[in-house]
């Protein structure tokens, strides 16, 4: 059901986007905009109201975050409910084990193979159980983590990060926790602005919204974020933080060249922009320098063990800009004092014993082998990938629409993640899907899932019933 809804904005001297937000809420609650109603496009409503598209976009974004509206890239914006929903409006992850019980192959998020983690964790827990003492019933403190910070520095020695010290390290409860802590350190004012890639890890958006920040998407090309678009956004919005995945862009797998990195750093310095460098998916022996090596005064390098050892540990780290380690640890202290004692003890043992490094190598080897299987099966299509990265980016052949392809793939037992899920609310997403490697299932099942996709791809709706 379409609408030609045209509200009368109340002039109270405040921002017009807030006036439009209030008008949307009132119309939905009063039933003037029933559930399921499709709202005008951003540009159409902006033209008829005589406001900028940015004003309408921000109002739509706020009411979508409240759960009153829902937006689907390529379809439009619809009324979802008559009253705001408290809390997040969409889950971060789906239960892959529920999917497995239904006989489906879940390729929405990468999953780790068990290459010895279970045995290593059992052995580590047996060892640390003998060290449990009175301190395990008291609060934890940042001073208790000094050795673990040194071990993290050693863990990162294969990446080109420039000089880093244990004093530069902030320990976190996973990568997402680290992003939130960085925002605690960097964002100022009532409505700060965070820049992200046009297609980006959704966790950046969730964390920025939790910090009451406005999120602005920046255009991408084959190397990731476009410098010209970044500079325009810096001039227009006065942003404070830029979020990037430069080595293995999520979801497109794009990789920044050293020249592109230098351009981004130059712009960040010109506009005093802090950079979050998310390297959770980066290959451990990547030869090119990380952004942290090029701009140690402003890059926050975030990582975790979730993609290499165990997601269940919820252990992450941030290499803070030079001189900012104490500020980072203070932010962590205000959030959760310090890491939980069992987690820090387990990770310390895994690092000390060498088990963590051994497991990391085996996990990456398994991912590389399974990625090669995917490339062999689907490489004839528009597939982008990188060695050591547990996902690939597939642009669909002409004739396919993303959700039509996903629906048929699900009917054939394969769950995928659409490009739309990485796009901004008012953004445009290509007809593409991300294919994550499900290393928790047998290779035979994995290959069967790829075979189903290979069957569908050359048969768009013009050739088969959808």
pLDDT at residue 100, rounded to an integer: 58
Residues 436-447 as b or e (16 or more Cβ within 10 Å = b)? bbbbebeeeebe
Q: Is position 120 within any domain?
A: no
User: If you average pLDDT over residues 328-339, what whole number do you get?
Assistant: 96
Give the span between the Cα atoms of 123 and 10, in whole angstroms. 66
Nearest 10 degrees: Cα torsion 106, 108, 109, 115: 30
Structural domain boundaries, residue 21: 16-79
Residues 192 and 242 in one domain: yes
Provide CB contacts within 8 A for 136, sequence distance 6+: 341
φ and ψ at 106, to 5 degrees?
Answer: -95, 105
pLDDT at residue 280, rounded to an integer: 85
Domain holding 25: CATH number?
A: 1.10.10.10
Residues 223 and 165 in one domain: yes
Residues 7-43 as b or e (16 or more Cβ within 10 Å = b)? bebeeeeeebbbbbbbbbbebbeeeebeeebebbebe
Q: Answer yes or no: are the C-beta atoms of 315 and 173 closer than 8 Å.
A: yes
Residues 188 and 277 in one domain: yes
Residues 218 and 285 in one domain: yes
**pLDDT above 60: residue 89:** no
- What is the tens place of the pLDDT at every residue in 379-406? 999 999 998 899 999 999 999 999 899 9
User: If you average pLDDT over residues 32-60, what whole number do you get?
Assistant: 88
Residues 266 and 287 in one domain: yes
Domain holding 439: CATH number?
A: 3.90.1150.10
Residues 312 and 170 in one domain: yes
Q: Is position 288 within any domain?
A: yes
Total-model pTM: 0.83
| 94 or 209, greater pLDDT | 209
pLDDT at residue 10, rounded to an integer: 78
Domain final residue, candidates 353, 376, 398: 353
**pLDDT above 60: residue 53:** yes
User: If you average pLDDT over residues 433-438, what whole number do you get?
Assistant: 97
Give the span between the Cα atoms of 93 and 148, in whole angstroms. 29
Residues 330 and 405 in one domain: no
Q: Is position 412 within any domain?
A: yes
Give the span between the Cα atoms of 38 and 40, in whole angstroms. 7
Residues 297 and 373 in one domain: no
pLDDT at residue 436, rounded to an integer: 97
Give the span between the Cα atoms of 160 and 176, in whole angstroms. 23
Share of residues in the chain with pLDDT > 70 (%): 92
Q: Answer yes or no: are the C-beta atoms of 118 and 319 closer than 8 Å.
A: no
Domain final residue, candidates 319, 353, 387: 353
| 165 or 51, greater pLDDT | 165
Residues 156 and 279 in one domain: yes
**pLDDT above 80: residue 441:** yes
**pLDDT above 80: residue 92:** no
Give the span between the Cα atoms of 328 and 184, in whole angstroms. 9
Residues 452 and 377 in one domain: yes
Residues 322 and 235 in one domain: yes
Which of the four pLDDT bands, split at 50, 70 and 90, describes residue 70?
confident
**pLDDT above 90: residue 354:** yes
Residues 174 and 44 in one domain: no
Q: Is position 159 within any domain?
A: yes
How far is the CA of 107 from the CAs of 3, 393, 416, 461, in angstroms? 37, 12, 5, 22
pLDDT at residue 246, rounded to an integer: 93
Give how many domains the chain has, as a whole number: 3
- What is the tens place of the pLDDT at every residue in 116-164? 999 999 999 999 999 999 999 999 999 999 999 999 999 999 899 999 9
pLDDT at residue 281, rounded to an integer: 85
Residues 54-80 as b or e (16 or more Cβ within 10 Å = b)? bbbbbbbbbbbbbbbbbbebeeebbbb
Q: Is position 333 within any domain?
A: yes
Report the mean per-residue pLDDT for the chain.
90
Q: Is position 405 within any domain?
A: yes
Which of the four pLDDT bands, split at 50, 70 and 90, describes residue 2?
low
pLDDT at residue 285, rounded to an integer: 64
Q: Answer yes or no: are the C-beta atoms of 418 and 393 closer than 8 Å.
A: no
Give the span between the Cα atoms of 84 and 397, in whole angstroms. 39
Domain holding 207: CATH number?
A: 3.40.640.10
Q: Is position 126 within any domain?
A: no
Q: Is position 466 within any domain?
A: no
| 2 or 399, greater pLDDT | 399
Report the 10 Å Cβ neighbour count for 270.
Answer: 11
Domain final residue, candidates 353, 372, 400: 353
pLDDT at residue 360, rounded to an integer: 95
pLDDT at residue 464, rounded to an integer: 46
Which of the four pLDDT bands, split at 50, 70 and 90, describes residue 6?
confident
């Amino acid at each position: 059901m379409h609408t030609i809804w045209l509200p009368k904005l109340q002039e109270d001297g405040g921002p017009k986007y807030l006036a439009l937000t209030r008008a949307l809420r009132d119309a939905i609650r009063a039933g003037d905009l029933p559930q399921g109603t499709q709202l005008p496009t951003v540009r159409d409503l902006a033209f008829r109201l005589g406001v900028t598209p940015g004003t309408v976009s921000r109002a739509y974004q706020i009411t979508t975050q409240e759960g009153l509206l829902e937006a689907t890239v390529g379809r439009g914006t619809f009324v979802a409910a008559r009253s705001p929903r408290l809390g997040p409006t969409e889950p971060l992850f789906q239960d892959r084990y529920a999917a497995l019980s239904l006989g489906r192959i879940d390729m929405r998020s990468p999953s780790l193979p068990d290459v010895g983690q279970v045995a290593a964790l059992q052995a580590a827990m047996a060892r640390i159980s003998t060290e449990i003492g009175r301190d395990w019933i008291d609060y934890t403190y940042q001073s208790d983590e000094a050795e673990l910070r040194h071990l993290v520095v050693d863990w990162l020695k294969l990446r080109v990060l420039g000089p880093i010290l244990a004093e530069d390290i902030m320990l976190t409860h996973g990568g997402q926790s680290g992003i939130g802590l960085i925002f605690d350190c960097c964002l100022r004012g009532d409505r700060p602005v965070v820049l992200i890639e046009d297609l980006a890890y959704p966790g950046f958006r969730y964390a920025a919204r939790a910090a009451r920040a406005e999120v602005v998407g920046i255009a991408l090309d084959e190397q990731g974020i476009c410098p010209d678009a970044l500079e325009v956004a810096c001039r227009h919005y006065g942003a404070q933080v830029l979020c990037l995945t430069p080595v293995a862009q999520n979801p497109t797998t794009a990789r920044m060249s050293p020249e592109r990195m230098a351009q981004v750093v130059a712009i960040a310095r010109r506009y005093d922009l802090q950079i979050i460098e998310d390297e959770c998916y980066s290959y451990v022996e990547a030869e090119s320098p990380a952004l942290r090596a090029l701009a140690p005064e402003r890059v926050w390098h975030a990582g975790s063990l979730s993609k290499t050892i165990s997601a269940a540990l919820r252990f992450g780290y941030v290499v803070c800009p030079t001189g900012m380690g104490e500020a980072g640890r203070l932010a962590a202290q205000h959030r959760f004092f310090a890491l939980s004692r069992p987690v820090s003890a387990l990770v310390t043992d895994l690092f000390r014993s060498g088990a963590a490094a051994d497991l990391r190598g085996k996990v990456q080897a398994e991912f590389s082998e399974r990625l090669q299987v995917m490339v062999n099966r689907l490489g004839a299509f528009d597939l982008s990938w990188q060695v050591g990265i547990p996902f690939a980016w597939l642009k669909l052949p002409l004739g396919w629409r993303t959700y039509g392809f996903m629906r048929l793939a699900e009917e054939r037992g394969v769950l995928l993640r659409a490009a739309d899920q990485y796009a901004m609310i008012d953004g445009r997403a290509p007809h593409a899907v991300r294919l994550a490697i499900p290393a928790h299932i047998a290779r035979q099942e994995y290959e069967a899932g790829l075979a189903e996709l290979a069957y569908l791809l050359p048969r768009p709706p013009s050739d088969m019933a959808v």
